[in-house]
Structure 1
């Protein structure tokens, strides 16, 4: 498990990140964490597992009110969030579509 400062640094340095927030007393978290980790590994995306009981500041920083929570970041910005009931099919679809690099999007080409 990683601490908050390590994950904050990764969010600024790495293009894509998946943050999984759990609690040691959450049985669903123990089931969902390996699934989320595998998806991140399958798409070569950095995975960060954090326990809210070991680092209570997580709740405020990530604005998480329930666990498990999966947050997806691209270029340091949160682009998706799921909590309590994780839809792994939609999570996988999102991870498939994430750009692998952090080049700026040319919106002129997108909207023409």
Structure 2
């Protein structure tokens, strides 16, 4: 499974996004069953994309994330390329479509 970096502050999130060319940020909530179901599938999918780094945020722990990144639900999946948001998925994720989008983005930035 894809390695996961726990991000516990808004500063850690910003540093993670800046430190990695391809940074995938997964925002979840402790009380969200959908969040718990999606994370293992996401980690498995991202195994195909070694250049993408994965960071995880518990939304309750980093309250500022909602206003900074306009997050209104959980889970939210955000892909940043060179610090800019290029992909956003939320709540019910279609993994087949997500995989295609990731492949297209990775080809675009190769």
For Structure 1 versus Structure 2, the TM-score category normalised by the shorter chain is: 0.7 to 0.9
Equivalent residues in 2 for 1:30-49, closer than 5 Å: 30-44=36-50, 45-49=52-56
1:98 is displaced (CA, Å) by 2.9
Aligned counterpart in structure 2 of residue 11 of structure 1, from 14, 17, 27: 17
Following superposition, the deviation at residue 9 of structure 1 comes to: 1.0
Query: Which residue number corresponds to residue 3 of structure 2?
Result: none
Matched position secondary structure for 2:39? helix
C-alpha distance after superposition, 1:73-98 (max 9, x if no partner)? 11110011111111111211122223
Query: Does the Cα contact within 8 Å between 1:18 and 1:46 map onto a contact in 2?
Result: yes
Structure 2: stretches of 5+ with no match in the other structure: 1-5
RMSD: 1.9
Large movers: runs of 4+ above 3 Å: none
User: Take 2:104 and 2:23, find their aligned partners in 1: how far apart are those partners?
Assistant: 13
SS at 2:41 equivalent:
helix
What does residue 2 of structure 1 align with? Answer: 7
Preserved CA contact (<8 Å) 1:18 1:40:
no
Contact 1:17–1:72 (CA<8 Å) still a contact in 2? yes
Aligned residue number for residue 70 of structure 2? 63
Q: 1:29 aligns with which of 31, 35, 57?
A: 35
- Paired residues in the alignment total 103
DSSP 3-state at the match of 2:25 = strand
TM-score, length of structure 2 as denominator length: 0.83
Residue in 2 aligned with 1:50? Answer: 57
